[in-house]
Amino acid sequence: MAVAFGREIAAAKDPEAKRAEIEARMSATLSPARRAESFSMHELIDPCETRAMLCEWIEWNQQRLETQCGPSRFAIRP
């Protein structure tokens, strides 16, 4: 962050206060909940629960996945 806002921080009367202000502003706008709202997502998955959610989804869709996978048309990429 110091690289992106280096000039602004250096030009401030109190560089440490300016850095803290910029960090607070950035952390408020970088919330995953705000990003999910902007993309109309309905649920956020905690990173520690990702594997369990993916395993649950695969088990739920296993039969569909088996029917949609078939032999490839080309043995070697054209």
Angstrom distances, CA of residue 1 to CA of 17, 26, 34, 44: 14, 10, 20, 26
Q: Residue 30 pLDDT more than 70?
A: yes
CA distance 39 to 61: 24
- Within-domain flag for 27: yes
What is the tens place of the pLDDT at every residue in 45-74?
778 888 888 888 888 888 887 777 777 666
What per-residue confidence (pLDDT) applies to 50? 86
The share of the chain scoring above pLDDT 90, in percent, equals 8
Residue 38 DSSP SS3: helix
Q: Which amino acid is at 24?
A: A
What per-residue confidence (pLDDT) applies to 17? 92
Q: 28, exposed or middle or buried, with CB in 10 Å at 0-12, 13-18, 19+? A: exposed
- Within-domain flag for 53: yes
- Within-domain flag for 20: yes
Higher-pLDDT residue of 8 and 36 is 8
When pLDDT is cut at 50, 70 and 90, the band that residue 13 belongs to is very high
Domain count for the chain: 1
User: Domain residues for 33?
Assistant: 6-68
Residue matched to tokens 């995953």? 32
- Within-domain flag for 76: no
